[in-house]
Structure 1
Amino acid sequence: MSSVDILVPDLPESVADASVATWHKKPGDAVTRDEVLVEIETDKVVLEVPASADGILEAVLEEEGATVTSRQILGRLKEGNSAGKESSAKSESKESTPAQRQTASLEEESNDALSPAIRRLIAEHNLDASQIKGSGVGGRLTREDVEKHL
């Protein structure tokens, strides 16, 4: 069994750094190839970082909220077939999870999808997006809407 580094993907040229938004797995969890391990957020986009192989998440080196740059090591994955048995048992219980997660995110974002920059601005000021009237296309929130609300 060998260890594989989990790296920040190449960021767009206009973006110098990003932040670790959400780890979907904890150290010791079994993972399958192409399963999303972590989400990285920039001002413009949220990037999903998938597992490069089946195995076990060995270590998380950058916690949620940490600022990272292109190709920086986020964690380590221990390759191996041991994930196969564990993940098949877990997959049965996880089948309802994506639907529940999607429903929850739709309820949170009643003004369509919020851009990462708007989500960050709302979080910085501890605001409730549903209390702000959007003036963008389709009632979407804009930076100006949030700033007016302040």
Structure 2
Amino acid sequence: MGNSLVHSQLYDVKNFLAKTITAIGDFLNETTISQLQLENDEDVNYHKLIFSTLRKLAVYSEEGFEACTVILQGDPFQKAAAEKTLYKIYHQCIEEFFSPKNDAWFENSRSAYTGKNSIKFYRTTAEQIQQLIKSLEGEFQRIREELEYYETDYRTKMIQSK
């Protein structure tokens, strides 16, 4: 891939991460578990799991944003560092959104064919959380499609360099 394409993708991902950080940060700063008025301990524990995943996503997004900023400010543009960063963002942010390690929610891949949101929760979830995830999902899907290339390309490069 040419430098200009990687540069523009890195810039696009940086903007995406900035919006993600703002959306998740605003939600976490303004919402508490007690405000959700949950009915039982199981619901409280499940929502704590969701909040934990959102905090992880916020941290991963901030790290990715900072890495993008540093690389974009560099002169000359470091294509290899940019590709490695995009690969890392794909794994830490995009994959964590669609398939969190702590199983806070899951992706129903069949939903892509129906035009519906693909993120599904294991339990009944507060409306505020559902709205946040729905508002984020479209952009996460778009960036996932753009960065899937780095998933295979970067791994291929690592295998060939051994």
Normalising by structure 1, we get a TM-score of: 0.26
Return the structure number with greater strand share: 1
Normalising by structure 2, we get a TM-score of: 0.25
